[in-house]
């Protein structure tokens, strides 16, 4: 019955509303078909194996995205981190290191470096987040995540949808 035409002619009817010999019914949704649009269903073992493959793929992609995030945030926030490090390293009440840099800095300049580092942190976090989102969008990394429901049907595998748009 999946996708077949059905005639619903009762034999009599008004000529005003008669549209022809029969009415063509719409096919049922593909999820109710045996096979149909998505292909035949996998067996139990094949479904479990493909589920594990898709889980590993999604985890690997998640690790790549997290590493990219740490790389972008680390590079963008590096100037603020260096200012904070130098300020805390040379302040007499915190570490008071004998580093050569500290011979040029007194406590007031160390406090200024600490304040400047924290003030610079807020806009740099916004810039890092915008850069990370732009990289995700440009590299289309979010499009490579696979739904686990694709493991049920043969022929789906690692297929990426072309009509899907990720909004980041």
For residue 43, what pLDDT is reported? Answer: 77
Q: How many domains does the chain have?
A: 1
Tens-place pLDDT, residues 116-135: 999 999 999 999 999 999 99
Q: Indicate whether 88 belongs to any domain.
A: yes
Instruction: Provide the domain limits for residue 110.
Output: 40-152
Q: Indicate whether 49 belongs to any domain.
A: yes
If we measure between CA atoms, which residue out of 157, 168, 162 comes closest to residue 51?
157
Question: What is the residue-wise DSSP string for 76-141?
Answer: HSHHHHHHHHHHHHH-TTTT----GGGGS--HHHHHHHHHHHHHHHHHHHHHHHHHHHHHHHHHTG
Q: Indicate whether 148 belongs to any domain.
A: yes
Instruction: For residue 65, give both structure tokens.
Output: 């995205």
Cβ-Cβ contacts under 8 Å for 98 (sequence gap 6 or more): none
pLDDT > 70: percent of the chain: 66
Tens-place pLDDT, residues 60-89: 999 999 999 999 999 999 999 999 999 999
Q: Indicate whether 27 belongs to any domain.
A: no
Give the end-to-end CA distance of the chain in Å, rounded to a whole number: 42
If we measure between CA atoms, which residue out of 133, 127, 130 comes closest to residue 76?
127
For residue 17, what pLDDT is reported? Answer: 47
């Amino acid at each position: 019955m999946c996708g077949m035409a059905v005639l619903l002619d009762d034999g009599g009817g008004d000529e005003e509303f008669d549209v022809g010999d029969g009415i063509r019914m719409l096919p049922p949704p593909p999820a109710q078909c045996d096979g149909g649009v998505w292909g035949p269903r996998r067996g139990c073992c094949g479904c479990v194996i493909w589920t594990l493959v898709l889980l590993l793929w999604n985890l690997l992609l998640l690790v790549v995205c997290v590493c990219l995030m740490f790389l972008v945030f680390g590079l963008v926030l590096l100037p603020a981190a260096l200012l904070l490090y130098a300020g805390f390293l040379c302040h007499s009440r915190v570490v008071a290191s004998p580093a050569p840099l500290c011979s040029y800095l007194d406590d007031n300049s160390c406090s200024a470096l600490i304040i400047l580092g924290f003030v610079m942190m807020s806009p740099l976090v916004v810039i890092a987040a915008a850069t990370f989102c732009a990289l995700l969008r440009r590299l289309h990394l979010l499009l490579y995540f696979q739904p686990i429901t694709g493991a049920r049907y043969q022929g789906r595998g690692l297929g990426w949808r072309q009509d899907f748009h990720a909004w980041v």
